[in-house]
Chains A and B, each alone.
Chain A
Amino acid sequence: MARLTAKNLERAKAVVRRYPVARSATIPLLHLAQEQDGHLTTEAMEHISELVDATPAEVLGVATFYEMFKEHPVGRYLVGVCTNLSCMLVGSDEIVEHLESALDVKVGGTTGDGLFTLEEMQCLAACGGAPCLQVNYRYFENLTTERVDRILDALRHGQAPEGQEIPPHGTLSRVTLPVPVTAADRERPEEIH
């Protein structure tokens, strides 16, 4: 619960190298900090400001602008239900009601055991599989209340719901991306033709 660990600092430096201007790494590094701690701490945001050549206030300003960044602890599993038009038309309200009663929390709340936080989400680009939800940004489409129960049950037992492994909140892509081989501010591509 603090600054980036030595290992994550190395990852952070590799992220910064992907951009011609360090500040572009702000959002990726906030994701990294959220992966480390589950949410964003003041110390981590200060650390990021040093790495991206911005003030802590600028980093905080970015963090508070974007929906996915949480300045307070959330559950291990963030359950987000889309309630936009396409999902609403085919029953997302019932899915939200069912989750509120199954988890015994209101939208925005976290269960007492710290396992689940329930959210409503804006259109998740899964309208063909409506109604849909995400657990830590992994999709579950064509929902029924029975399926929702099975998903929750698997997560409570530490299993992968419907075979889909769900890492703890904060972890997005688990792929380590390549470091660019060209210097983005120098090439003159017209020279090759």
Chain B
Amino acid sequence: MVSIVFARMEQQDAHTLDGYTRSEGYSGLRKALSMTPEAVLEDVKASQLAGRGGAGFATGQKWSLIAEGFPRYVVVNGDESEPGTFKDRQLMERDPHQVIEGSLITAYAVRATRVFLYIRGEMALAQERVGQALVDAYAGGYVGADIMGSGWSCDVVLHHGAGAYVVGEETALLESLEGKRAFPRIKPPFYPAAKGLYLQPTIVNNVETVSTLPWIIRNTGETYATYGAGRAPGTRIMCVSGHVKKPGNYEVEAGKITFRDLIYDIAGGIRDDKELKAFVPGGGSAPWLFPDHLDLPLDPGPVGAEGTMLGSGAVVVMDETTCMVRAAWNLVRFYSHESCGQCTPCREGGNWLEKIMYRIENGNGRPEDLDLLLDVGETIAPGPFPHASNKATGLEAVPFPYKMTTICFVGPSAVVPMHSALTRFRDEFEEHIRLGACPHRVAVGSGVHA
């Protein structure tokens, strides 16, 4: 298996400056500083690197959108909290200098002089590891004034959040960084590259994205693009969790493998050799896939055509014992809980979805609830809603995008698990209502903590 962004995961002292510089650390930045910012940008464009935060926007293209004017900023989004996703935390805890080096390469390419690393509030170890790395990097001349004798100066400011999923939305993150409630901004302007932090030109990149940059600069973007396949050049980290034998983060050449390879080979297969029932293919916001989709390659093209996305690269595997109502309710509860409250359809609708699904799961559902769920979903995301195909029934996939009545994707994300589970397993919902109880309760645990 190829190891690019995870190259130092076996190295116990990779989080120290000594350990990092011993394994090519900061040599990517050194090389970048010997190039012009334009050449660095061109190299990143040639790599075809796409953002790893979820949206998958081409990194080089994002950088080239940066507006004229100073000051301009780079913000690194380390507010990882998409359900099922746990790669950025590992990168920040175990290879913090790589995050710093990548963010400096970004700043140099877009001519910014200050980087803000926004780390999720709940990640105390990541904050300490990146914080100590920053102290050491300043002392070593890798950050701050006249970096590595190049004449270029750039500061990196470490910022901690305080618990809010919506901060992962880049304009909400900027509001949060400005010291406000994390309300996503109304678009347009669509890109922080035009108006970002303090309404200045700003590049917002994910932790995994910037962590890939030192390798790309050291080995050229062209080399990076030779890895992977299809619309997924390079490598990416897939986070596999749930009912698998070997849950974990795996760096893969995405387009070259299928979900079957990932779940059954790399992650060891289903726990206790049970049957697969459903899986989340790209974080909690991604519509679900099912056993008939296992042979899809991890490529945004075919996965998108199948009505879902690779998103943050988080695959959550559910075996045959899993109650689909309960699993979907759990995710709906998350998005309902994380609504910032700005948009009525999300604030009220998410809450309705959660309450209705909770009562179905707990045996108090009514037959009309199923249409009510879809109706509430329509209020948040009107029109055809993305879902996967079903070979058995001949149902065709509905691809993205969805329409939305909300400023950001949190509202529609509450619809996703409900819609996926109900479209595929309507009979299971009906069984709950008919029995007045959850038929799977014993298999997934007895307690309910709403």
Contact = CB atoms under 8 A, between A and B. Distances in A.
29 contacts: A20-B114, A54-B179, A62-B179, A66-B121, A66-B162, A88-B445, A89-B243, A93-B449, A122-B165, A123-B82, A123-B83, A125-B81, A125-B85, A127-B242, A128-B86, A128-B239, A130-B241, A130-B247, A172-B121, A172-B124, A174-B128, A178-B134, A178-B135, A181-B153, A182-B145, A186-B71, A187-B71, A187-B113, A192-B152
B180 interface: yes
A166 to B, nearest CB: 9
Contact of B445 (A80, A93, A139): A93
B248 A65 contact: no
A65 B165 CA distance: 11
A26 B176 CA distance: 9
B178 interface: yes
B122 interface: yes
A126 B126 CA distance: 12
- Ranked 7 nearest A-B pairs via Cβ: A67-B163, A175-B131, A26-B179, A66-B162, A127-B241, A180-B155, A173-B127
Contacts of B132: 175
Contacts of B449: 83, 93, 96, 107, 120
Nearest to A18: B157
A21 B174 CA distance: 13
B366 interface: no
Given A54-B179, A89-B322, A193 B36 contact: yes
B114 A180 contact: yes
Interface string B71-86: 1010000001111111
Interface in A150-193: 172-178, 180-182, 184-190, 192-193
A94 interface: yes
A86 B83 contact: yes
Given A88-B330, A122-B337, A125-B86, A138 B124 contact: yes
B111 A190 contact: yes
B169 to A, nearest CB: 14
- What size tier do the contact residues of chain A reach? 35 or more
Q: Which of the four size classes fits the interface of chain B?
A: 35 or more
A178 B130 CA distance: 12
Contacts of A128: 86, 239-241, 247-249
B50 to A, nearest CB: 21
B135 to A, nearest CB: 6
Interface in B362-392: none
Interface string A74-108: 00000010011110111101101100000000010
A173 B160 contact: yes
Contact of A184 (B71, B239, B326): B71
A94 B125 CA distance: 26
Interface in B75-99: 80-86, 88-89
B95 to A, nearest CB: 16
A28 B123 contact: no
A175 B159 contact: no
Contacts of A137: 121-124
B347 interface: no
B397 interface: no
Interface in A99-149: 107, 120-130, 134, 136-139
A30 B322 CA distance: 41
A178 B158 CA distance: 9
A68 B352 CA distance: 25
Contacts of A88: 326-327, 330, 444-445
A91 B321 CA distance: 13
B37 interface: yes
Interface in B21-43: 36-37
Contact of B80 (A23, A30, A125): A125
A9 interface: no
B120 interface: yes
